[in-house]
Each structure stands twice: as C-alpha cells, then as structure tokens.
Amino acid sequence: MTQLDTNDYVIRYETFINDVLKEDLRQVDLRLQEVNGEITDLIQQKHSLKVIMDKSIHPNGFKTQVNLGCNFFMEAAVSDTSKLLMNIGLNHYLEFNIEEANRYLDVRIKAFEKKAEELKNQSAETKAHIKLMLFHIGKIQNKQGYGIS
C-alpha cells in the first residue's frame, strides 16, 4: 500500500466517523433526552396523583385553576377524586380510577425506561465503533510512519 493509498483510507475513515457515526450518536443522544423527558413527566404525574389523592392534604377535594384557552383561567373545585381523566396520547382521554391510573403510569414508565436502556446501548455501541475505527486509523498511520506495507 502506498502512502497515497494510506492517506486516502485515513481520510475516508475520518469522513465516515465525522459524517455518519458522530451524526448517529448525536441523533441517539437527542432521542435519549426526549425519552428521559417523558420519564420525568410521567414520574411527575404519578407524584401529582399521590398529592391529589392525599386526604390529609385535601380532605374535601382540592381547588385548581383550569385554562379555558387563550390563557383565560377559571377556578374549579374538585370534591370527588375517585375517578379522573388522563390523556393517553393524541389528545384522547380515558377515565381511570386511582389504582388504574397508577398501573397505567407504571407501565408507561417501564416502557420508556426500556426504550432509554436500548438507546443507551445503541449509544455505547456507536461510541465503540468510533473508538475501533480511530484505533485502526492509528494502526494504519503507524505502519505508514515505519514504512511497513
């Protein structure tokens, strides 16, 4: 292999690392941030549900403000908290009792945690590919430096 061929291989490998692998890694990291945000939201919903249901804090229900649209708010009092409506996606709401709502949130949290684990593994795999390619670039450059073919 001539020095020109070696330089061409090194440039191709570096281009592949920068244009493909690092972009893949960036996309996986962005998706992981989204999934972690979803997990955080679901945990917050679970905590809010616990606070709403706590009879020591709200013995006669609770008061809240409801956005009617265009940032017009109306005060509301909720005395019966045995059932609630939850957005299950695509602005579809389903009525749950407290136990069902907790189970639903637990299942969603586990599903997103599984997805986060998959994305972490994918990220680690891409990082390993980058390191492996950099290692091989170093070996190619070392061989070129010593004049070994």
**Calpha distance 48→131 (Å, rounded):** 44
* Confidence at residue 106, expressed as pLDDT on a 0 to 100 scale: 97
* Confidence at residue 72, expressed as pLDDT on a 0 to 100 scale: 92
* Confidence at residue 53, expressed as pLDDT on a 0 to 100 scale: 81
* Confidence at residue 145, expressed as pLDDT on a 0 to 100 scale: 63
Rounded to two decimals, the pTM is 0.77
Instruction: Select the CATH number that applies to the domain covering 3-55+82-146 from these four: 1.10.150.240, 1.20.1250.20, 1.10.287.370, 2.40.128.280.
Output: 1.10.287.370
| Collapsed DSSP state (helix, strand, coil) of residue 100 | helix
Amino acid occupying residue 22: K
* Confidence at residue 103, expressed as pLDDT on a 0 to 100 scale: 96
* pLDDT per residue of the chain (149 residues) written in tens, 0 to 9: 566 577 888 898 899 999 999 999 999 999 999 999 999 999 999 998 888 887 777 777 778 888 888 999 999 888 888 888 899 989 899 999 999 999 999 999 999 999 999 999 999 999 999 999 999 888 888 877 655 44
**Token output for 63:** 């008061």
Going from the C-alpha of 122 to that of each of 20, 95, 131, 142, the distances in angstroms are 14, 37, 14, 30
| Collapsed DSSP state (helix, strand, coil) of residue 56 | coil
* Confidence at residue 47, expressed as pLDDT on a 0 to 100 scale: 93
Q: How many Å is the Cα radius of gyration of the chain?
A: 27
Compute the Cα dihedral for 21, 26, 31, 36 and give only its sign: positive
Indicate the domain borders of the chain.
3-55+82-146
For residue 16, the tally of other CB atoms under 10 A from its CB is 14
